[in-house]
């Protein structure tokens, strides 16, 4: 195995784990619940449902013509996958958190892409709500993408740079 491949192996494993977990859970929903069927898990807070989203996050563009959605969403996802893989490949191996987060984005994007190619829409099944207010249903892929993007943003805003982890002999500005 080449050095480049071995440095990508943890990212591949994380992305594949997210993808497989996402697809297994969606397959279980499709095989066990009728469309729109709901199973209460935590009364007043969480249901497992069989929902479908023909659009993007929060049903964005769900009402667009089928021909448009069937071309646009897979194309955008493929571009995103290429960009994420390119970024992961360029990251130094010590950027573990960023690699892990981007691998979560990659696995989630591939999971939802698989749904779009197979069903023409994304299978969602987690319904979180409070009283009459429901958050849009989501899935493992969506959760992974959300957590990963949150980690990237937090790392960008609050994470320390590699330079600050030096030996303590960093150069000080000259007077």
Cite the active site residues: 124, 142
Which pair of structure tokens corresponds to residue 160? 């320390």
> Rounded to an integer, what distance in angstroms lies between the CA atom of residue 52 and that of residue 72?
18
Contact 79, 87 (CB under 8 A): no
Which distant-in-sequence residues (6+ apart) come within 8 Å of 125 by Cβ? 25, 26, 29, 33, 48, 49, 50, 51, 137, 139
């Amino acid at each position: 195995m080449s050095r480049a491949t071995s440095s990508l192996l943890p990212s591949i494993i994380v992305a594949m784990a997210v993808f497989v977990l996402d697809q297994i859970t969606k397959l279980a929903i499709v095989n066990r619940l009728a469309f729109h069927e709901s199973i209460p898990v935590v009364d007043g807070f969480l249901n497992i449902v069989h929902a479908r989203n023909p659009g993007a996050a929060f049903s964005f563009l769900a009402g667009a013509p089928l021909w448009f959605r069937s071309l646009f969403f897979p194309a955008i996802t493929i571009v995103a996958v290429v960009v994420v893989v390119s970024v992961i490949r360029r990251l130094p191996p010590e950027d573990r958190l960023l690699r892990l987060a981007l691998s979560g984005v990659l696995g989630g994007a591939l999971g939802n892409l698989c749904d779009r190619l197979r069903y023409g829409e994304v299978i969602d099944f987690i319904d979180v709500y409070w009283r009459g207010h429901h958050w849009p249903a989501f899935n493992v892929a969506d959760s992974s993408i959300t957590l990963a993007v949150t980690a990237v943003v937090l790392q960008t805003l609050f994470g320390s740079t590699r330079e600050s982890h030096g030996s303590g002999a960093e150069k000080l500005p000259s007077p």
